[in-house]
Amino acid sequence: MKAVSLHLLILGGVVTSLLSYALLRHGILADPDSWAHWEASVSILEKGSYSLLDGDQAGVAYWPPLFPIYLALVQALLGKTGYSLTIAMCLLAYFNAMAWLAFLHSYFENSNGNRNRVALWLGTMFVILFVAWCSTELMSNFLLLLFVGLILILLTRVFGVSSIRYSALVVGLSLSCAAALLTHNSALVFVLAVAVVLLSESSRRLTDRLAASGAVSIGAVAPWLGTRMLLHQTHAHPLGSHPNYSLAGYIYQSVAGLGEFFSPTSRTPVWAAANVALGIGLIGFVVWGILATRRSERWPVGVPFLLASLAYVFLLVLFNLTWVNDPLNGRFLWFFPLSVIPGICLLVRRRSVYWLMLLYPLVLGLPAYRVARYSWTGIVPSGRMTKPGDLRIRVCYFLTAMKDGRPPLQCVRVYAPTYPWMARWKPGLPEGSQEAVKVE
């Protein structure tokens, strides 16, 4: 990659991390998964075991260990404080922005640079704003997002390369998919999607494509299964368990969830309809992208569309085959707009620069508003307290504190029967690390 491009990547990463810090300087949004990740990271440091702080290993049975290990490494350097969690997420924002901007620039590098510069800058601004916004939740999905970006960088480069380089890229894909699976179980959909995308690359013999797909699948799934057995996690999210929502419910959630990235989240009929319409429109663009790049010589341009659509469909299938407490939106779909917006910008620019200019307010409007608004106050306002009777808070609220050792977690939507450890006091917590207010 050219030196000027590397400078732009570094600059984009720095800007994204600074925006992330502005959003997180008073605290981080969290849910029960976040609290388990943090407890597991402290347990790794203090006890050398992957468990909750009271020794309950079953409490972290639902999550692979890579994200808690990352949090533990940062806290080992900076201390077990809320400030360390903020820095950990800012660092992830930096590396996420670097990865996704690298994908963006590599995606555009074979096109006419001057002619497509308007599309490139639209994609660049969207990556910076969207990644900064995703950093506001202490979730392992944000680390997963980094590996999806790396997967796309590698996938877009496998077309027409030499056998030696192709083998090296396949090894890189296998390692990236393995890291993704060790971050979040749902990354299984990306392993399957990568295998299918490799099979669709028609410039190679079928035997080579089958070998590459098999190598990626086995190389990613084998360490994940081994880790699940080692940590006694084989009972977590078993296939065949009853899903939390119906198929129709998941389809609505996912389509509306795609629209909510560009339209306010609201249950009012007007905004709900707008979210669904925008989600359908985004899916329509993706279908257009797949059809427009179906010729073999344009296969690299269609890779992001194909990977995103396959992962989206596989997520729908996966959520209907196992129990997942959360709806299929938000963090589970962060990868989708980041994957397809660059391709949409490029295809629209080839049609007309004027149509592309219309995309600017649509693509950047809500992300820019959210980042600007909450950068001013912080995603968790300083000194914010819970109010008795607040129905949005089901069980507990963790006070925001940046200086006395407590993680800056605002815990919402907690379900005590599903996550029993959230409702009990843990005597093993560090001094001042947890302060819960129970709301009846």
Question: CA distances (Å), 262 to each of 119, 307, 359, 368, in order?
Answer: 18, 21, 11, 10
Closest CA to 37 of 1, 88, 3, 2: 88
**What residues of the chain score a pLDDT lower than 70?**
1-4, 53-59, 110-115, 238, 240-241, 266, 296-298, 352, 354, 380-440
| pLDDT at position 142 | 95
40-43: long-range contacts (C-beta < 8 A, 24 or more apart)?
A: 40/65, 40/68, 41/68, 41/69, 41/70, 41/71, 41/72, 41/75, 42/72, 42/75, 42/80, 42/430, 42/433
| pLDDT at position 342 | 85
| pLDDT at position 333 | 93
Q: Where are the domains of the chain?
A: 140-236, 237-351
For 175, the enclosing helix (H) or strand (E) is: helix 163-181
Phi and psi dihedrals of 28, rounded to 5?
A: -120, 140
**First-to-last C-alpha distance (Å) of the chain:** 57
Closest CA to 220 of 255, 181, 249, 263: 181
Q: Cα–Cα distance between 429 and 267 in angstroms, integer?
A: 38
For 411, the enclosing helix (H) or strand (E) is: strand 409-411
Phi and psi dihedrals of 411, rounded to 5?
A: -95, 120
142-171 tens-digit pLDDT: 999 999 999 999 998 888 788 899 899 999
| pLDDT at position 127 | 93
| pLDDT at position 117 | 76
27-61 core/surface letters (b: 16 or more CB in 10 A; e: else): bbbbbbbbbbbbbbbbbbeeeeebbbbeebeebbb
Question: Tell me, what DSSP letter sits at residue 393?
Answer: -
Tokens of 201: 């690359």
Residue type at position 419? Y
| pLDDT at position 89 | 92
| pLDDT at position 389 | 32
Q: Cα–Cα distance between 275 and 171 in angstroms, integer?
A: 39
| pLDDT at position 59 | 59
| pLDDT at position 419 | 39
| pLDDT at position 58 | 59
